[in-house]
Structure 1
Amino acid sequence: MAETASDLSTDASAEIATALNQALAETVVTTMLAQNYHWNVTGMAFGPLHALFQEIYEDHFTGQDDLAERVRAIGETAEGKLATHLDRSKVKEGDEHAEDKEMIRHLAEAQETIGATLAGLSEIAAGHGDVRTEDLAIERGRIHDKFAWMLRAHLR
């Protein structure tokens, strides 16, 4: 087990950083997606959706920082270019003209995508004995699962 970040091998740090940067890219894109929808949602559910989308993007902004700081803590570079995040992310930008239910569906799918990416990160970190990254991935995964559930509840 790697008791500190400096205990990780160069190969382990690189592999973990790649997975962290994937999660970071998806979180960055989803942060902007939620903010876009926050600004542009309309309809009878405007109030609660406007508030929920804000809760999501505020949480995700903090999550971005946590992920990027973990990349740095293991001695690697956190990717910071928006174009890189857009290219890398499995989550795609949304249409600000979408109907509220499409916004909800897209944002729920984004939460599930990030959750899956974080589960993969957790496995990679565990495989290298990096319990701190594993813990971060598990905790962030729980948050994304909760947001996916909250969003999907609006579709029923």
Structure 2
Amino acid sequence: MTQTAQQLTPSAQEAICEALNQCVAETTVSTMLSQNFHWNVTGMSFGALHDLFQKIYEDHFVAQDDLAERVKALGGHAEGQLALMLKRSKVAEHDGNASAEVMVETLAKAQDTIAATLAGTAAIAEEHGDLLTQDLAIARGQVHEKFAWLLRAHLG
């Protein structure tokens, strides 16, 4: 049965908000990861990667807001502390001191991680009849899968 945010049970809201906060954390860490790589990439692929990394962090900045606002729409608390996000995230920070190839590989893995987390979030939302969160999570997951593909295309 399809539910609106106000029709969900408190336990459903809690489960969905927990999953969404995981998505926010991983998206936020990936935002900084891609911006860090944007600042520090060098080499023959500089122009293309500099632009791609910027496209990724600009997308992610908007996405973290959309995900956090969905948490709020569901009556939850959007976790906004960076220390908590770093602790929660399955995407790790990087010092940005790496070859362009390592940057691309690292960021592609981050995109895969976020896509998987979003797929899990979509499944939780579907289980509780929250089609709006399910749709948001699926759409975001597709974006992250596309970014992973674009990144891997640079590796040959």
TM class by shorter-chain length? Answer: over 0.9
1:7-156 pair list within 5 angstroms: 7-156=7-156
| CA distance in structure 2 between the partners assigned to 1:124 and 1:34 by the alignment | 28
Give, as a single letter, the amino acid of the residue that structure 2 aligns with 1:96.
Answer: G
Give, as a single letter, the amino acid of the residue that structure 2 aligns with 1:79.
Answer: E
| CA distance in structure 1 between the partners assigned to 2:27 and 2:2 by the alignment | 26
| CA distance in structure 1 between the partners assigned to 2:50 and 2:82 by the alignment | 24
Give, as a single letter, the amino acid of the residue that structure 2 aligns with 1:90.
Answer: K
- Runs (5+) with no aligned partner, structure 2: none
SS at match of 2:62: helix
| CA distance in structure 2 between the partners assigned to 1:2 and 1:18 by the alignment | 20
Task: Output one character per residue of 1:1-51: Cα deviation in whole Å (capped at 9) or x when no partner.
Answer: 344210000000000000000011000000000000000000000000000
SS at match of 1:117: helix
Give, as a single letter, the amino acid of the residue that structure 2 aligns with 1:9.
Answer: T
Contact residue 25 and residue 89 of structure 1 kept, 8 A: yes
SS at match of 1:52: helix
| CA distance in structure 1 between the partners assigned to 2:4 and 2:130 by the alignment | 8
Contact residue 2 and residue 8 of structure 1 kept, 8 A: no
TM-score w.r.t. length of structure 2: 0.99
Report how far residue 148 of structure 1 moved.
0.2
Report how far residue 96 of structure 1 moved.
1.3
| Root mean square deviation of aligned Cα | 0.6
Q: Number of aligned pairs?
A: 156
Give, as a single letter, the amino acid of the residue that structure 1 aligns with 2:136.
Answer: L
Quick check: 1:5 aligned with 2:5? yes
- Moved segments of 4+, more than 6 Å: none
